[in-house]
Amino acid sequence: MASGLHDYRGETCSVDTCLARCQPRTRQEAGELKSRLEERYQYLWTTIKIFFLAYFDSRKKNGKLNML
């Protein structure tokens, strides 16, 4: 590679066009990754809550859980 150039995902961009081409793409990709992680976290947290609510509800119905 020549001086002043770098490779971004198989594409070569100069220092002058780097901020215009690469930075917005990486910010967009970071935003997409954050959204996917938030969705996964929300799904996991909801699944855990449903599991525990169902578990404690079934124990309460069977008379095995005396919380108060």
Domain ranges of the chain: 5-61
Count of residues in the chain: 68
Q: What is the mean pLDDT of residues 54-67?
A: 70
Q: Three-state SS for 12?
A: strand
For residue 44, give both structure tokens. 């996991």
This prediction has a pTM of: 0.47
Q: For residue 6, which of 48, 19, 39, 63 has the smallest C-alpha distance?
A: 19
pLDDT tens digits, 1-14: 444 455 556 666 66
**Cα(19)–Cα(38) distance, rounded to whole angstroms?**
27
